[in-house]
Amino acid sequence: MIIIKSDSEIEMMKIPAKVTAEILRDLAEIIKPGISTYDIDRFIENRILEADMKPAFKGYGDFPASACISPNQVVVHGIPSKKIILHEGDIVSIDAGAIYKGWYSDMARTYPVGAISEEAERLIRVTKESFFEGLKFCRQGNYLSDVSHAIQQRVEADGFGVIRDYVGHGVGQSLHEQPSVPNYGRPGRGPKLKKGMVLAIEPMVSVGTYEVDILDDEWTAVTRDGKYAAHYENTVVITDGEPEVITLLQE
C-alpha cells in the first residue's frame, strides 16, 4: 500500500530532511585523503544526535553504523571501519538519514577524495544529472516508470550502467515504504503519481557492469567487475504542481 502524506506530515518530514542535507553538505569539507570511513560515520552520527534526532540506519536490519559509506567499487551499504582509509583519487558514496518524532529522511551523495580521474568526475556528474532527469517526471498523473525510464536514458546515454539490484522507495514513518522506484524500465507502467506521495529516488550508477556481488559481511554490495560506482539520492514530495525536493538546501 502506498501511504499518502498530509501537508502537516510532510512539514514534519522536512525537519530531519534539512538536518541530513546540512550534514551531507558539510561532509564535503572533511572528506580528504587520510580520513577513515569510521571517522566520517562518527561525524554524521554526532551531528544527528546534536540535533536531537536518531540515525535512521543504525540498527536497521542490524546494520551496525549510522551511515552507509561506500568507496570506489562499493555500490551501497558499505560498513564504516577504522581500517578503511580514503586515498587521493578515490570516490566515496554516503547514504544517511535521520528520524525526527517518527519521521524519516533519506539521501545520498558521492564525493571526490582529492583529485580524481575525468571518468570518475563524469560518473558522479551523470549520476546526479540522472536524478534530475527523473525529477522532471515526478508530477501528479505521470506513471512511476516514467521517472525510472528517464533516469536510465540519461545514464546509458553516457555509456554507464544502471544498477538493477537496488532501487528507490517510498519513505515516511518507515525508512522503506511502497512503492519501489527502479532506476530503469519502460515508461507508462506502475502506479500513477499522486499528490502526497513521498519518494526516495536514488540512481546508483556504475562505470562498467550493473551486476553486483555481496561480500561476506552480508551488507557490502560491490560491482562485479570492480569498477567505480556512484550514488545520488533525494527525498521527493509529489505535489499538484512542481515536485518538492526536501533534501535539497535552499541556499
Task: Assess if residue 250 is contained within a domain.
Answer: no
Q: How many structural domains is the chain composed of?
A: 1
Task: Assess if residue 126 is contained within a domain.
Answer: yes
User: What's the CA gap between 24 and 115, in Å, rounded?
Assistant: 19
Mean pLDDT computed over 115-124: 98
Statement: residue 12 has pLDDT above 80: yes
User: What's the CA gap between 167 and 182, in Å, rounded?
Assistant: 5
Q: What is the pLDDT of residue 251?
A: 57
Mean pLDDT computed over 24-47: 98
Task: Assess if residue 251 is contained within a domain.
Answer: no
CATH number of the domain that residue 146 is part of = 3.90.230.10
Mean pLDDT computed over 203-215: 97
Task: Assess if residue 154 is contained within a domain.
Answer: yes
Mean pLDDT computed over 3-29: 98
Q: What is the pLDDT of residue 23?
A: 98
Nearby residues of 240 by Cβ (< 8 Å), 6 or more positions away:
140, 195
Question: In terms of Cα–Cα distance, which of 88, 97, 90, 64 is closest to 78?
Answer: 64
Residue 41's φ and ψ, nearest 5 degrees, are: -65, -40
Mean of pLDDT over the chain: 97
Residue 214's φ and ψ, nearest 5 degrees, are: -105, 130
User: What's the CA gap between 99 and 172, in Å, rounded?
Assistant: 10
Task: Assess if residue 144 is contained within a domain.
Answer: yes
Q: Report the 10 Å Cβ neighbour count for 2.
A: 15
Task: Assess if residue 48 is contained within a domain.
Answer: yes
In this prediction the pTM is 0.96
Task: Assess if residue 1 is contained within a domain.
Answer: no
Nearby residues of 161 by Cβ (< 8 Å), 6 or more positions away:
155, 205, 206, 207, 208, 209, 210
Statement: residue 111 has pLDDT above 60: yes
Q: Could you tell me how far CA 30 lies from the centroid of its own chain? A: 19
Mean pLDDT computed over 17-26: 98
In the β-sheet with 204-206, what is the strand arrangement from edge to edge? 161-162, 204-206, 229-231
Q: Report the 10 Å Cβ neighbour count for 29.
A: 7
Peptide linkage before 179 cis (omega within 30 of 0): yes
Mean pLDDT computed over 92-110: 98
Structural domain boundaries, residue 69:
7-245
| DSSP annotation string for 141-197 | TSBHHHHHHHHHHHHHHTT-EE-SS--EEE-SSSSSEEEEE-S---SS-SPBP-TT-
Confidence band, pLDDT 50/70/90 cuts, at residue 109: very high
Mean pLDDT computed over 204-221: 97
Confidence band, pLDDT 50/70/90 cuts, at residue 250: confident
Mean pLDDT computed over 10-33: 98
Confidence band, pLDDT 50/70/90 cuts, at residue 53: very high
Task: Assess if residue 191 is contained within a domain.
Answer: yes
